[in-house]
Amino acid sequence: EAEVAQSPRYKITEKSQAVAFWCDPISGHATLYWYRQILGQGPELLVQFQDESVVDDSQLPKDRFSAERLKGVDSTLKIQPAELGDSAMYLCASSLPGSGANVLTFGAGSRLTVL
């Protein structure tokens, strides 16, 4: 069964350091999403890509977060500098656009702890 791959699964860093997360969506899925899930809450969208273009980054803290999907396939989410409040699970998801129900398939997530 096709999966969304994410790495690393766990990352511990000190505040003010830079961190990066990688996501490889299901082959053929043109739409890619990065969600942030703070402990005890539901996921919140950070950024959505359609191929290599950003469709929605309205909730991305652009002073410290950046995301790219240069060739329209895999994607990287970067945080620089990390802050204590960035501790969360970062979830990547992908979907086929125009597929009616637009079912999102999620990866296992990258859990970030900022000390």
Written as one letter, the residue type at 111 is R
Interaction between residue 75 and other proteins (CB under 8 A):
no
Among 8, 80, 97, 115, binds other proteins (CB under 8 A): 97
Round to whole Å and give the CA distance between 3 and 82: 28
Structural contact between residues 6 and 110, judged by C-beta atoms closer than 8 angstroms: yes
Residues 6 or more apart whose CB falls under 8 angstroms from that of 13 comprise 19, 82, 112, 113, 114, 115
Question: By CB under 8 A, is residue 25 in contact with other proteins?
Answer: no
Tokens 């803290």 locate to 61
- Please identify, using beta-carbon distances, which residue of 14 and 56 lies nearer to other proteins: 56
Query: At closest approach, how far in Å is the CB of 111 from other proteins?
Result: 7
Cα–Cα distance for residue pair 8/14, rounded to 1 Å: 16
Q: Does 44 bind other proteins (CB under 8 A)?
A: yes
CB of 16 to other proteins, least distance (A): 27
Under the rule (CB under 8 A), what is the footprint of other proteins? Answer: 4, 31, 33, 40-45, 48, 50, 55-56, 91, 93, 95, 97, 101-109, 111
